[in-house]
Chain A
């Protein structure tokens, strides 16, 4: 080994030299030792955890804490739904009935968005007078109107699907004239 070091010194005194084989082996041994130490430390930590888990409370207590916390904290996103489920004031109900009675007039002409929306509700049994979401485009040639739950027509969409068909995919309809016969479009 010493000869190898000396010969490398003679041959190229200024060039980089490889570390001697013994040093490499020492490096490998050192790394292996460190790996073992890390694992043995991990074993100690796991043993500690096994002991401590004996005294840990069951998950149901944590679940109760989560449930209580969420229930108590106001949330603007969840509050929307709670507010929307509140019964509307009387005048709003009256307004809705008034709109419904005007439907036949306004839908034959260029409807305002409110009444045009209500027209859409004819197609959708689940829509109530206050749905201000669905719009049925006059240009859409939906082949068959079915009951729409929740997400009904958005602005450039038609919602049409054959009875009994379970929509598995939502497609973006880019062309109003195009109407999906057996899929649900947005």
Chain B
């Protein structure tokens, strides 16, 4: 069946039900279309498992981060609700109850992450506070009528969940019949609460254990800024009239600043609200936690190389601030890694990986041999071993196991030392190696960090640290080393503790020393002498000061810094230097950038300007900025249009085009110069022009007959 028609634009294809069942699963696509399909089934399973773990970890992180915020919100709800309870009976309630308790939730500009937050928020509220949680989006509520409809609809659904199934039908009927108004809402609320009140005591206990008596209705405005002010104002005014009939709490999701409430709502309306402000965690902190928990840990065998991480972080910082997108990019790199690297089958927990090494096929062994890092390793071995590595699969597997273990140990050490170094660098002025641990991580991953200029200045700055700072940092380092799982750091801990002890001892010794020096110099100066001698002694004094023996503290400080430096040099070697790093590191940053942060305009521009990039034909080869006149029609037409102003005369354009095209074909120029432009060329021109129109470079213009307007300026 064809998919082009002049009468319709949608074509549904439904294969017969028998056929449909056989459709292949995701795993098949994973192995298909790859020449290199070693262990693809296992690879796919590993990939899926790994991703599942990572995903649940990210969710856990999200939950933990939101916990504080949600706790605050719940206590706010509790408080406002209790006010409602107590005031209900009082006369005062009549006076003040038109104020609606409102929580303004400042969430930050990363709008895409908000959905997850709101989803978990409403879940938490439904679990702990009230079944009646309604979330509204600006898109769904263009008018107050729609808003109320949505509100009622969601509330009715809520109550179905809580109530027994018998009522479902009647609720469904009533939902359609009830005119959506506040009055009917309050009536509904009354009936619902009465029902729960009159239920059997046993049932009541179960429900009240989760929810409170006569629970409040919580309305969440997900994107407060995008609501029309009229709708918001109307809703607030109307519901404030009914606030004494049922407890209502509003939650505003705010992306910009809390000031927006006052900008959207006039004083008369905002005075009906009793607003309390809640600030969520900033997305940067969120990202830091995610990186800390996902990347800077040995929990997951999969690692990102420096460039890939940089791409992801750049997308985050310069494009969207969205942690969700960061995680999406992470997911893509996991999939890409397992899809493209046959040896990724070994990218799993160490024990499992060792087992898998034994069952590697000969092809896979060859794959290992062709890894650049492994080749480097082979070259560094003695010749007999080299031969054995390259010829005997069993020996290779043995070595591979030890190498994998080395890699694992390297990671364990790496992350501990990295954190330790981070403690040092964050205390420095101007942060030469970056403020965030991710920056430090990138610096260490890419190249030998101790060779960089920044590291040099870091060490210099460290040598100037004050004593109490240094002590505090050392103590933190000790904590980090102790908490790390690696056993090889027991020596390091001892050493650090020794340093700490020596700092303690210094305090006493130091005071005496300082006095000595000063007394000595004082004495010398007090002697009676002539000008020449005075000058001489002063010079000597200066000299001696410069070459003066360092104080004990300074020496100790040097020692500490040198020790840290040695730690860095031995443990923070770049990952690329590690043998078999290709197994666990994903490093094709280009694919990631192409797929996540593509530049369609540039692609279009390159194709039009320099078709040789895509069509490898010698006739198209030309210098930068030039274009061969054998290029595809659209390229020529595009190039010609670049030279025009805002309006383009089609006739002139056509003539120029035909000149260029005929010049190539070597036809008689006399016939071209006249008006008899070849019909075929005319047709080709028409096609090229309408293609440019489709691409959005030109549009028809009515300013002048046979003219088109140019829509772009300056190249693209």
Partners in one complex: no
